[in-house]
Amino acid sequence: MLLSALLTSVGINLGLCFLFFTLYSILRKQPSNVTVYGPRLVKDGKSQQSNEFNLERLLPTAGWVKRALEPTNDEILSNLGLDALVFIRVFVFSIRVFSFASVVGIFILLPVNYMGTEFEEFFDLPKKSMDNFSISNVNDGSNKLWIHFCAIYIFTAVVCSLLYYEHKYILTKRISHLYSSKPQPQEFTVLVSGVPLESGNSISETVENFFREFHSSSYLSHIVVHRTDKLKVLMNDAEKLYKKLTRAKSGSISRQNSRRVGFLGMFGNNVDHYQKKLEKLEDDMRLKQSLLAGEEVPAAFVSFRTRHGAAIATNIQQGIDPTQWLTEAAPEPKDVHWPFFTASFVRRWISNVVVLVAFVALLILYIVPVVLVQGLANLHQLETWFPFLKGILNMQIVSQVITGYLPSLIFQLFLLTVPPIMILLSSMQGFISHSQIEKSACIKLLIFTVWNSFFANVLSGSALYRVNVFLEPKTIPRVLAAAVPAQASFFVSYVVTSGWTGLSSEILRLVPLLWSFITKLFGKEDDKEFEVPSTPFCQEIPKILFFGLLGITYFFLSPLILPFLLVYYCLGYVIYRNQLLNVYAAKYETGGKFWPIVHSYTIFSLVLMHIIAVGLFGLKELPVASSLTIPLPILTILFSIYCQRRFLPNFKSYPTQCLVNKDKADEREQNMSEFYSELVVAYRDPALPASQNSRDISP
Amino acid sequence: MLLSALLTSVGINLGLCFLFFTLYSILRKQPSNVTVYGPRLVKDGKSQQSNEFNLERLLPTAGWVKRALEPTNDEILSNLGLDALVFIRVFVFSIRVFSFASVVGIFILLPVNYMGTEFEEFFDLPKKSMDNFSISNVNDGSNKLWIHFCAIYIFTAVVCSLLYYEHKYILTKRISHLYSSKPQPQEFTVLVSGVPLESGNSISETVENFFREFHSSSYLSHIVVHRTDKLKVLMNDAEKLYKKLTRAKSGSISRQNSRRVGFLGMFGNNVDHYQKKLEKLEDDMRLKQSLLAGEEVPAAFVSFRTRHGAAIATNIQQGIDPTQWLTEAAPEPKDVHWPFFTASFVRRWISNVVVLVAFVALLILYIVPVVLVQGLANLHQLETWFPFLKGILNMQIVSQVITGYLPSLIFQLFLLTVPPIMILLSSMQGFISHSQIEKSACIKLLIFTVWNSFFANVLSGSALYRVNVFLEPKTIPRVLAAAVPAQASFFVSYVVTSGWTGLSSEILRLVPLLWSFITKLFGKEDDKEFEVPSTPFCQEIPKILFFGLLGITYFFLSPLILPFLLVYYCLGYVIYRNQLLNVYAAKYETGGKFWPIVHSYTIFSLVLMHIIAVGLFGLKELPVASSLTIPLPILTILFSIYCQRRFLPNFKSYPTQCLVNKDKADEREQNMSEFYSELVVAYRDPALPASQNSRDISP
């Protein structure tokens, strides 16, 4: 790709970004859009927009940027939760890393690369190929490569130390978040599965006997889980019908008052029809509820008097048979994924294996479209496939748009289909909470992105050949070193199109905006009913981290990518702060458990860079540098293992010291008996009537 | 190797075995050898041999076999401990596996192999090469290979199910062993390391404050560890001197009475000299002891009132910083490896890495002698190296002895040097107990044996080439499939020489016998001073398991090895029962923790066999069979993961149910206050005076 093509792409996207930002700053001030751009504020009752018209409403302003940057980390922690803070810290970490990388890359590596072969004419930059700025421009065996070698070592050290301090910082915040928060039901509760069936005793009695015997001092109460999936379907139906009914009723009453509601004029006659249907459904539900009374599942939420008591039950194996009395920390009550409990130990285990196989199959299958997209970046291949396009493709502007813009756009659209599939796969694995499903889907998406966005793009040739590379580890460095630099221009344009445009469309929220417009048009709008969208950590984190991977691997290969990345992360920092403050609301709190994923992924990126460096120094006929790079991945992995030992245990569960301290503080400060009475009913299945649930509760 | 060479080897070894057994059955009846053949009995006061002379003493009898087979598993468990039972069960498991394998191998696979190519003359068996009985005799692409294919599947299923039931059996025994045993100090005690230094507080105070605060209900007492390695050296010196002194004294007194003691007539004059030396040493010790009063190490043994209390402290992370307040289950008091505690978290971690590197280096270095030994098995190579040997080597008997016997004997001798090195390496890793060191050394020895006895023998060629194979996983099956069958004859003779002769020399205890003879001759004998040797699990288990690996991998390649293995295991079963009952005494109990090693190793052997099968069916031009074998290792590994989830947690620690039940039973049945007073002093450092230790004990 020529520099001019890159500049075209940058130009288009800069234009788009400015357009989107301008639109945003105007649209957000319109009172009718408040549910699109500030649903969180509306929910919290903080929205202070007046309906008065003034000129300022039509002018683009940048006040939102200032407001987004205002809150301190501690304010974010207390208002938005730990996950939001971790999310923001990923940007802070990335900005730090790529600020350093940009300085080294642009002021040291780029000049070295550009002057790699000989003193060419310095002018006519636009006609230079992007290869002139990459390491491939440096002569084989040139001593200039030692500069790259040093840069890799220094960069790795900087990233590792930044990672260490970030890890430490987040851990401190995690502990202080525990200390400052009020007692939460999930801290006192344990989910027990695999309750053995005892003849003569119900599951509820078995659970009670067991915990009364083995945790006599701290046991508080329990709630046995019921099989309610069918009931839930009925309840959803009833809820929908009820909504329709109320709407139809209000429609028939206020038909005269409101023009808009009667727009399609089809309600009113249906009131009786709906009412009958609803009555029938309610009968059904009552029948099911009574039937379900007996359908207990061998799992229960067991609550304890102290956090330490719950931690003891979680951390020590309970029954002699490790497949029975399995304990795990309970999720937040609203985070429980109720359909989980159909799975026994063996069934959960098998479904895990099945999902793994399905995931691998998906990875392999999805290569096909990626290969097709790659064709667009290589125009001459496209011409051979579709000869009639030759005339159009020879026009310079068309070819520049196609090579610079279209491939990554198609690629991006195609990637949109993946997250729902991954969430579906993860939900089949038998996780007990939505947050665990999201975390697992996030990891799957990361692997998918690395495989399909990086490796499949980088390694050309048939799919079979690609698999072969990974069966011959010795050749991996050389193959990667030959293939990765060649794709530099594709990834630079990917950062600009997918990254920048992605961010600006994130802030504009085009789909919800159109949706809100359409619903208003058709009179279905109901301000009280709108839902605050939950923070899409699972979809966003892999995207953000993937750009980090690109930056780290291309750091010494093609430093031209770095300033674009830095711009991406700075924009992202502002935009996501704004979105977290105004738009999204976390449905559940994972307690910063996304951070270890970020850590592992950064280490993986570093090691990948080292492997490419080993191969590249080999290809560039500098075998000494190649050998001297080998200790670097080993040291990095050792560092990672050390970090995991040092920090990871605290991400999995809280230590005794914290728990006991917090328990004691609670006893002094809180009204615990009130909390206990809430705790006892916190894990009631929403599908069961209160009477049914309370049967399981032992005071 | 010709069949006749094998038969020679078998003959020699059978003869040796009978000779050794005869010698044993005579020698063991001599009263003077009672400390060699029955030290355990003597220690327990069960030795009932009279000094009267009768003719029976000179006749070989087989009564010891009957006595060795008498005790039931439960008797072994209660008298010899769980480790001894696990050791015996390894033999039982192997006998079952290889009984099945022998039947299938000899009656199905061997005839198929022998008639693989064509109907040759059936007679003149001795001149047949051993290859005629192996799978290499079957024609390429022959449908007879499907018989092997089925045999592999059935064999794997049988081994896995045997493994499962053995796992289950040992687990039951482990639990029942806990229930039936008396309270042990290690069950109530936790080792805490990484105690943070608080200004103004001694380590002892810090520990006490921490556990009083966070484990108020169950904390009993603690003992801070002291740095006493230098003191221990002095104490050892003093002990030796003291022994010499008493011996010298008794020598000068009883010189007239005893002829033997005065044999060299050099004692007596030295009494004064020794006494002076001893006094000086004791002064030194007292000085050191007073100096050491302040030299506390940031580690302590913390005892609790209940097993459950100790388990809570072990299983839950204590401090906020995961590198501080590290807890682990305490070893038995006599099992503590006192010099461990110089290592902090980071230092232990680094030394682990260093030991790993040293171990890998050792693996690679030790290939050299193996390659040399291999030369002996290939006579013509030896002839090219040493042409002057040609005349001797051409004699049939010499060549048969050399090819059939010498290589594995030299190999065996060479392997003798390895266990001490491995134990040394493991002891540098910062383990806190001798049993952990042994377990770690056992794993190292296993890996070493597999690498150096199997892979290095199997893969000929330069060392560099070998490493390359493992960098190209795709080619591994083919390389192994080509190389492994070729070494069948070497390993058959290895089983016969190393295995059989190893067993018979184990029972004869040649070295201790000679040693006891020499000490008697030189008048140093002292019946009261002899030590009961500790059971050499760490050295023996890798040997025994290695034969299992040979049997499993050669099961379908060269079934001729199977009957020899079966004989080995049957002999071993009798001999080791005898040795465990009469000779060895376990110094410490690991609670059956060797079994998971056996499990993993058996799974590894199976997977190795599968990999070879995949390669072999490929080489034999039966690609369908090759592909159909691929699911087998995957299924086996899944089975293994399932077993680990199902059983392993119970090997690591006991579940709450057991602990609380046992705690309650103890409260009813035992005099716990008496036990507590023993517990408080159980972990006193033997190098420190009682007063010094008791300072740390808080009542």
For the stretch A197-241, pLDDT in tens is 888 888 888 899 899 888 888 898 888 887 766 666 667 777 777
**Cβ-nearest to B472 among A323, A325, A472:** A472
pLDDT at B634 over 50: yes
Are the beta carbons of B645 and A322 separated by less than 8 Å? yes
Q: How far is B228 from chain A (nearest CA, A)?
A: 29
Contact B249, B271 (CB under 8 A): yes
The pLDDT tens digits of the residues spanning A15-24 come to 888 888 888 8
What b/e sequence results for A267-298 when a residue is b if at least 16 CB atoms lie within 10 Å of its CB, and e otherwise?
beeebeebeebbeebeeebeebbeebeeebbb
pLDDT: which is higher, B13 or A132: B13
pLDDT score for A588: 81
- The model's pLDDT over B383-406, given as tens digits with 9 standing for 90+, comes to 666 677 677 766 777 776 666 666
Residue B222 burial class via C-beta count within 10 angstroms: exposed 0-12, middle 13-18, buried 19 and up? buried
Query: Looking at beta carbons, which residues of chain B come within 8 Å of A213?
Result: 660
Mean pLDDT of B11-35: 84
> Residue B96: its pLDDT value, please?
95
Q: Rg of chain A's alpha carbons, rounded to an integer?
A: 29
Split at pLDDT 50, 70, 90, the class of A699 is very low
User: What one-character-per-residue DSSP string does A157-219 give?
Assistant: HHHHHHHHHHHHHHHHHHHHHHHHSPP-HHHHEEEEE-PPP-TTS-HHHHHHHHHHHHSTTTE
Residues of A in contact with B650 (CB under 8 A): 317, 320, 322
Looking at per-residue pLDDT, the higher value among B583 and A273 belongs to B583
Length of chain A: 699
Confidence (pLDDT) at A632: 93
Whether residue A253 is predicted with pLDDT greater than 70 in this model: the reply is no
Test A316 with B646 for CB contact under 8 angstroms: no
Contacts of B320 in chain A (CB under 8 A): 175, 650, 655, 657-658
pLDDT band of B51, cuts 50, 70, 90: low
Q: Between A214, A311, A657, which is nearest B319 by CB?
A: A657
Contacts of B656 in chain A (CB under 8 A): 214-215, 313, 316-319
**CB contacts, 8 Å: A349 with chain B:** 642, 645
Q: Average pLDDT of A535-545?
A: 87
Quick one: CA dihedral A322, A328, A334, A335, positive or negative?
negative
User: How many Å apart are CA A401 and CA A407, to the nearest integer?
Assistant: 9
Determine the residue type at A688.
L
Q: Which of A316, A322, A471 sits opposite B646 (nearest CB)?
A: A322
Digit-coded pLDDT (tens) for A59-91? 777 788 888 888 888 888 888 888 899 999 999
Please give the pLDDT value at position A596: 92
Of A198-202, A383-387, A655-659, B597-601, the range with the highest mean pLDDT is: B597-601
Please calculate the CA angle A623-A625-A626 and round it to the nearest 5 degrees: 60
Higher-confidence residue: B466 or B304?
B304
For residue B324, the model assigns a pLDDT of: 83
Burial grade of B423 (CB within 10 A; 0-12, 13-18, 19 or more): buried
Taking an 8 Å cut-off on Cβ atoms, the answer to whether A655 and B322 are in contact is yes
A474-510: per-residue pLDDT in tens? 778 888 888 888 788 888 888 888 888 888 888 888 8
The chain A residue lying nearest B652, using CA atoms, is A317
Q: What percentage of chain B carries pLDDT values higher than 90?
A: 17
* Percent of chain A at pLDDT exceeding 90: 17
Cα–Cα dist B504/B572, whole Å: 9
DSSP symbol at A108:
I
Mean pLDDT estimate for chain A:
80
Could you give the 3-state DSSP secondary structure of residue B202?
coil
Lowest-confidence region among A511-520, A598-607, A618-627, B42-51: B42-51
d(CA B176, CA A320): 11
Res. B81 pLDDT band, cuts 50 70 90: confident
Report d(CA B211, CA B343) in Å as an integer.
22
Question: Which of A323, A353, A657 is the closest to B320 by Cβ?
Answer: A657
B214 vs A214, A323, A656: nearest CB = A656
| pLDDT beyond 90 at B609 | yes
Interface test with A, best of B324, B351, B656, B659 (most A CBs within 10 A): B656
Residues of B in contact with A471 (CB under 8 A): 472-474
Do B659 and A214 meet the contact criterion of CB atoms below 8 Å apart?
no
Higher local confidence (pLDDT), B539 or A408? B539
Distance in angstroms (rounded) separating the CA atoms of residues A333 and A652:
19
Nearest to A214 among B213, B645, B660 (CB): B660
- Residue A52's pLDDT band, with cuts at 50, 70 and 90, is low
Q: How many CB atoms lie within 10 A of CB B342?
A: 12
Chain A residues contacting B via beta carbons under 8 Å: 175, 213-215, 217, 311-313, 315-320, 322-323, 325, 349, 353, 468, 471-474, 638, 642, 645-650, 653, 655-658, 660
Least confident residue range of A541-550, B127-136, B572-581: B127-136
Does the structure show a pLDDT above 90 at A673?
Answer: no
Interface test with A, best of B320, B646, B660 (most A CBs within 10 A): B320
Candidates B157, B77, B151, B169; CA nearest to B109 is: B151
By three-state DSSP, how is residue A541 classified? helix
Task: Give bridge partners of residue A219 from the DSSP assignment.
Answer: A304
Task: Report residue B443's pLDDT band, with 50, 70 and 90 as the boundaries.
Answer: very high
Longest pairwise C-alpha distance within chain B: 92
Distance, CA of A133 to CA of A126 (rounded, Å)? 12
**Contact yes or no for A214 and B657 at CB 8 A:** yes
Verify whether the Cβ–Cβ distance A316 to B311 is below 8 Å.
yes
> How many angstroms away from the CA of B139 is the closest CA of chain A?
30
- Kindly report the average pLDDT of chain B as a whole number: 80
Question: Is A317 in contact with B175 (Cβ distance < 8 A)?
Answer: no
A159 pLDDT higher than 60: yes
Say which of B315, B323, B474 has its CB closest to residue A316: B315
Give the closest-approach CA distance of A664 to chain B in angstroms: 10
For chain B, which residues lie within 8 Å of any Cβ of chain A, measuring from their own Cβ? 175, 213-214, 217, 311-313, 315-320, 322-323, 325, 349, 353, 468, 471-474, 638, 642, 645-650, 653, 655-658, 660
For residue A434, the SS3 value is helix
Cβ-Cβ contacts under 8 Å, B648 against chain A: 322
Asked if B320 and A175 come within 8 Å (Cβ–Cβ), the reply is yes
How many beta-carbon pairs below 8 A join chains A and B? 100
| Amino acid A332: pLDDT | 87
- Of these ranges, A432-436, A472-476, B258-262, B374-378, the one predicted with the greatest mean pLDDT is A432-436
Q: Supply A134's token pair.
A: 């990459």
Q: Which has the closest alpha carbon to A490: A410, A602, A394? A: A410
**Average pLDDT of the segment spanning B214-229:** 83
User: CA of A183 to nearest chain B CA: how many angstroms apart?
Assistant: 19
Closest residue in chain A to residue B645, using alpha carbons only: A322
Amino acid at B22: T
pLDDT, position A94? 95
B interface test, pick of A327, A657, A659 with most B CB neighbours within 10 Å: A657
Q: What is the DSSP letter of B122?
A: -
| pLDDT (0 to 100) of residue B236 | 73
From chain B, the residues in CB contact with A322 under 8 A are: 645-650, 655
**For residue B669, what are its two tokens?**
């049945």
pLDDT of A563 > 80? The answer is yes
| Chain A residues closer than 8 Å to B473 by CB | 471-473
Rounded to whole angstroms, the Cα distance separating A257 from A261 reads: 9
pLDDT value of residue A49:
57
Is the Cα torsion angle B480, B482, B483, B485 positive or negative in sign?
positive
Q: What is the pLDDT of residue B431?
A: 82
The residue of chain A with its CA nearest to that of B474 is A471
Q: For residues A591 and A604, what is the distance between their CA atoms, to the nearest angstrom?
A: 23
In this complex, the residue of B313, B316, B649 whose CB is nearest that of residue A311 is B316
Please give the full DSSP string across B453-484, using - where no structure is assigned: IIIHHHS-S-HHHHHHHHH-GGGHHHHHHHHT
Minimal CA separation from A72 to chain B, in Å: 25
Minimum mean pLDDT among A248-262, A416-430, B282-296: which range?
Answer: A248-262
Of the candidates A170, A114, A276, which has an alpha carbon nearest to the alpha carbon of residue A647? A170
Q: Which of B176, B316, B325 is most worth mutating to test chain A (most A CB atoms within 10 A of its CB)? A: B316
Spell out which residues of chain B touch residue A645, defining contact as CB-CB under 8 Å: 322-323, 349
pLDDT value for B613: 92
More confident site: A8 or B233? A8
Contacts of A166 (CB under 8 A, 6+ apart): A89, A92, A93
DSSP state of B487: G
Which of A371, A226, A195, A209 lies closest to A290, judged by CA?
Answer: A226
Most confident of A120-129, A450-459, B5-14, B305-314: B305-314
E strand or H helix at B190: strand B189-193
Q: Distance of alpha carbon B167 from its chain centroid, rounded?
A: 19
pLDDT at B150 over 90: yes
Cα–Cα dist B549/B594, whole Å: 17
pLDDT digits (tens, 9 = 90+) for B239-255: 777 777 776 666 655 55
pLDDT band at A102 (very low <50, low <70, confident <90, very high): very high
A549/A4 Cα distance (integer angstroms): 25
Sort out which chain A residues have CB atoms less than 8 A from B218's CB and list them. none
Shortest Cα–Cα distance, A417 to chain B (Å): 31
Nearest Cα of chain A lies from the Cα of B641 at a distance, in angstroms, of 10
The dihedral formed by the CA atoms of A367, A372, A377 and A383, expressed in degrees to the nearest 10: 160
Neighbours of A567 (CB within 10 A): 20
Does B316 sit within 8 Å of A312, measured CB to CB?
Answer: yes
In this prediction, residue B699 carries a pLDDT of 38
Band (B694; pLDDT cuts 50, 70, 90): very low
| In contact, B610 and B632? CB cutoff 8 Å | yes
Radius of gyration of chain B (CA): 29
> Residue A407: what pLDDT?
67
A337 touches A431 (CB < 8 A): yes
Q: How far is CA B194 from the centre of its chain?
A: 31
DSSP state of B275: H
Query: What is the distance in angstroms between the Cα of A345 and the nearest Cα belonging to chain B?
Result: 10
For A341-398, what is each residue's pLDDT tens digit?
Answer: 555 667 777 888 889 989 988 887 777 766 666 666 566 666 666 677 677 766 777 7
DSSP tag of B321: S
Cross-chain residue pair A645–B322, CB shorter than 8 Å:
yes
Sign of CA dihedral B552, B557, B563, B567: negative
Residue A668 has pLDDT above 70, yes or no: yes
CB contact under 8 A, B175 and A320: yes
Q: How far does A638 lie from chain B, in Å, by closest CA?
A: 9
pLDDT tier at B690 (50, 70, 90 boundaries)? low
State CA A105 to chain mean position distance. Answer: 29
pLDDT above 90 for B508: no
